[in-house]
């Protein structure tokens, strides 16, 4: 939800206990903070530091922020590795030579210990997907992998159908898995940065060129 006033945030934190707030103008996790209700107080986690606010202090804190930027607020989903690092998955999809969505790469983004964000630009890191999935999900890793792949393609088709006047050719979908294995969307990026693993930058270029050729051939028919 868009954070238009303090009441929106208060309702969210009452319903979910812990929420995440992030600026629309943020980049690589900048400006994100978390709010958790503890009794009659509120813990704010920002820039790897925690502060305890009263409700009145929280209201002033939020009002000062929304005067400067547009923020989104959503339920906080606990997504941590067995070692305690926060993480999410980047689902990088593109359109290929047949005009359909295809998966360029799926990889984990793991935050440094103690960090509240998994963005690679904030000290996070990644690793080979298969190794990560086997380490975190054991014998169930293959099912998790297929779940992520199927979601990446189905979501991309659905997302595109919502914006029929916009031509999308590449998306970066950031998702997390909760303790019940349900997928939650954190963010959708158009034209995300190139994947940072396994030299798949070449795959990005190849898919882009093949899709451009597909569009050129399609336009010739008209």
- pLDDT tens figures, 173-188: 999 998 888 899 988 9
**Whole-number Å distance between alpha carbons of 170 and 194:** 10
Q: What is the pLDDT of residue 29?
A: 62
Domain ranges for the chain: 6-75, 87-220
The answer to whether 210 and 97 have CB atoms below 8 angstroms apart is yes
pLDDT bin (cut points 50, 70, 90) of residue 198 is low
Q: What is the pLDDT of residue 100?
A: 97
- Residues 56-68 have a mean pLDDT of 87
Inform me whether the pLDDT recorded for 210 exceeds 90: yes
Q: Is 2 exposed, middle or buried (0-12, 13-18, 19+ CB in 10 A)?
A: exposed
**Whole-number Å distance between alpha carbons of 102 and 104:** 6
pLDDT bin (cut points 50, 70, 90) of residue 216 is very high
Closest CA to 121 of 191, 32, 207: 32
Inform me whether the pLDDT recorded for 28 exceeds 70: no
User: Which residue would you say has higher pLDDT here, 149 or 58?
Assistant: 149
In this structure, CATH architecture of domain 87-220: 2-Layer Sandwich (3.30)
What length is written for the chain? 222
pLDDT bin (cut points 50, 70, 90) of residue 9 is confident
Q: Which residues of 55-66 are buried (b: 16+ CB within 10 A; e: fewer)?
A: eeebbebbeebb
Inform me whether the pLDDT recorded for 68 exceeds 90: no
**Whole-number Å distance between alpha carbons of 22 and 62:** 12
The answer to whether 187 and 92 have CB atoms below 8 angstroms apart is no
Alpha helices in the chain (DSSP H): 6-16, 55-66, 129-137, 141-162, 201-220
Percent of the chain exceeding pLDDT 70 equals 95
Inform me whether the pLDDT recorded for 196 exceeds 90: no
Q: What is the pLDDT of residue 35?
A: 92
Inform me whether the pLDDT recorded for 93 exceeds 70: yes
Mean pLDDT, all residues of the chain = 88
User: Which residue would you say has higher pLDDT here, 9 or 211?
Assistant: 211
Q: pLDDT for 134-163, tens place per residue?
A: 999 999 999 999 999 999 999 999 999 999
Beta-ladder partners of 87: 110
- Positive or negative torsion for Cα 42, 44, 50, 51: negative
Residue 218 dihedral angles phi and psi, to the nearest 5°: -65, -40
pLDDT bin (cut points 50, 70, 90) of residue 27 is low
């Amino acid at each position: 939800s868009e954070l238009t006033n303090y009441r929106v945030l208060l309702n969210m934190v009452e319903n979910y206990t812990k929420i995440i707030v992030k600026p629309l103008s943020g980049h690589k996790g900048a400006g994100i903070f978390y709010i958790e209700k503890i009794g009659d107080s509120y813990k704010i986690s920002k820039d790897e530091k925690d502060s305890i606010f009263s409700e009145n202090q929280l209201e002033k804190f939020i009002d000062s922020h929304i005067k400067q930027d547009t923020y989104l607020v959503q339920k906080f989903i606990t997504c941590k590795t067995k070692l305690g690092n926060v993480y999410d998955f980047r689902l990088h999809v593109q359109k290929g030579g047949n005009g359909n969505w295809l998966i360029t790469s799926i990889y984990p983004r793991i935050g440094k210990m103690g960090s509240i964000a998994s963005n690679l630009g904030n000290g996070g890191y990644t690793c080979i997907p298969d190794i990560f999935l086997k380490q975190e999900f054991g014998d169930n890793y293959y099912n998790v992998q297929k779940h992520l792949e199927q979601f990446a393609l189905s979501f991309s088709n659905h997302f595109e159908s919502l914006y029929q006047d916009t031509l999308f050719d590449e998306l970066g979908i950031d998702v997390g898995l909760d303790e019940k294995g349900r997928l939650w969307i954190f963010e959708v990026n158009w034209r995300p940065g190139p994947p940072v693993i396994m030299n798949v930058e070449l795959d990005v270029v190849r898919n882009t060129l093949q899709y451009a050729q597909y569009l050129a051939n399609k336009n010739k028919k008209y």
